[in-house]
Chains A and B, each alone.
Chain A
Amino acid sequence: MARNELSSNTITGNFYLPLRQQDGGTENFALDVDFKIPGSGVTGIFGPSGSGKTTLLRCIAGLQPCVTGSLTVNGTPWQQSGNPNRSLAVHERPLGFVFQQPSLFPHLSAKDNLAFARKRASTEVSNEEYDEIVALMGITALLGQRPDTLSGGEQQRVAIARALLVKPRLLLMDEPLAALDQARKREILPYLEKLHRSLDIPILYVSHSVEEIARLADHLLLMRDGRIEQAGSATELMSSADFPVHLGDDLGVLLEAEVIDRDTRWNLLRARVAGAELWVRDSGESLGERIRIRILARDVSLTRTEDQQSSILNRLPMRVRDITPDADPAMVLVRIVPQRFDTIASYTHIIARVTRRSLHQLALEENSPVWAQVKSVAIVR
């Protein structure tokens, strides 16, 4: 009974799939994963190109046959290792799949593309649900058009709506923004966030973009060379200085915060994270709302004393927790925590990326008190 409860809200599985490298390399690549993902929210699958993210997603969908693999989604077995008879074919799996490439059927209008999915949905789609999904993706005005008259971003929104109309119990998204240019990505990201908020089905989101993952993911699977290197909460994993993927300028921390005050005169919000308070630009969030903010390591500078003359608003009294070398030999990463905290929860830290020379001039070492100047704080959602 207890086991049932446990498995009824998780996606568990394992796959072993040897594949020959596509680029003709002699080295064999094997997907070799064993995972347990929460059965709700967005799980980002993140990693460099060729790490097996897409292959994993295709295995879960059944698009990539994988004999040595098992998969159970929220209590329902989809396939069992070595038992191909118990394996559901792709079209029997109650899933939605959003592809990276344009995927609308070119001979059908946007509306008929949606109708194709609705007709085959696992349970009937009511008119209300239909209208809701169409409105959610903002495609009401596009329905009469043929795919080739839609922009890449519009096509992708129709494709997402189409995937939702089969009433999936799991939504798989394979780099849905990768084929779009920057402007189109910005156009579509808000729709994905809305999706996240208004759907109660689990979403697996493959991406190699830190920005997308930071904005969308609740959980994270980090992949490298066909294996899952780390798994856990997105904020936790993305705030660690030893993040396994080299992020360069994208390195930073992801923090959960709460809006506690509004300064209408200067158009600012006061946000509280565990142990510190920060000013952020007011973009309409309401008081008490939970937000997610991102502080990049390159945007944090350190001073020994508080610099009252600085233009920088967010000056925080912190102390050095530890210092780790950066991939760049001129730089170091300094992890700092709020001064007032004795026991340090791992997610409360900030990372500053400073030169080795500054470190030496300020004579910083572990436990040195220090002021952190945070040049920019981004609300990612």
Chain B
Amino acid sequence: MLNNADLAAIWLTLKLATTVTLLLLVLGTPLAYWLAKTRSWWKGPVSAVVTLPLVLPPTVLGFYLLIFMGPQGPLGKLTESLGLGTLPFTFTGLVIASLLYSLPFVVQPIQNAIEAQGRHLGEVAATLRAGPWDSFWHITLPLAKPGIVTATVLGFAHTVGEFGVILMIGGNIPGETRVVSVQIYDHVEALEYARAHWLSAAMLVFSFSVLLALYLLQRRKSADGWRYGPQ
């Protein structure tokens, strides 16, 4: 069934997905809030950049990251001058790549949830003497909870399923960058179809369960009949 290398890959994948999801929630929520509220000219370009990973082939992203984080790239020069070395072939490098790659999956559900709230309840909160920050924590965020749950699940699942980018910058180091999807690829390439099957099936079941749980959760929420401000 699953050997130690497979288990190590699974563990690494879960570690990566958890780290990336937590970071994305912290970074993506303010970004989603800004996108939902702003009337700035920058909204268009920023939205486009956030959405890019949805349409770009992962290999394009991986290729540019390899160059960008490499010793000649701007980020690589920065990390080297800080004495951190370069990021490709490291867990940190994978985290950064995955942040970019999964960004739209976290930002968009939260942004949609905040946009659906409209401006009314924010105004209500202001007339109840709640400042912008207060209002964000106590009104906007709790009301965006279904969106945040969706974002968490999608961000996690998508990072687990990431392959192309990691293949490009990972270097296939056991315990460091060899995640499940790469391990499966190796099995297939080496014609170890039985082992590929086990791992693929595990991944399939995992992804299906996650999405099913999400669907059930969403259905319960809508049955609760939450309404977001005036229609």
Contacts and interface: CB of A to CB of B under 8 A. Distances in A.
**Within 8 Å by CB, do A and B touch in the complex?**
yes
Interface of A: 61-63, 89-92, 94-97, 99, 101-103, 105-107, 116-117, 120-122, 148, 162-163, 166
Given A91-B129, A91-B131, A106 B143 contact: yes
Interface stretch (B46-54, B96-104, B221-229): B221-229
A243 to B, nearest CB: 32
Contacts of A63: 123, 126-127
B43 interface: no
Contacts, number: 71
Given A63-B123, A99-B120, A106 B130 contact: no
A177 to B, nearest CB: 16
A162 B128 contact: yes
Contacts of A116: 125, 128, 130, 138
Contacts of B132: 91
B139 interface: yes
A116 B143 CA distance: 15
B128 A120 contact: yes
B124 A120 contact: no
Contacts of B121: 103, 105
Contacts of A61: 127
A121 to B, nearest CB: 7
Contact of B226 (A62, A89, A106, A162): A106
Contacts of A91: 125-132, 134-135
Contact of A106 (B125, B138, B227): B227
B230 interface: yes
Instruction: Please report whether the interface of chain A is mostly helix, strand, loop or mixed according to DSSP.
Output: loop
A103 B134 CA distance: 17
Contacts of A99: 120, 123-124
B129 A122 contact: yes
A38 B118 CA distance: 35
A103 to B, nearest CB: 5
Contacts of A120: 128-130, 134
Given A63-B123, A107-B142, A101 B230 contact: yes
Contacts of B145: 107
Contacts of A94: 129
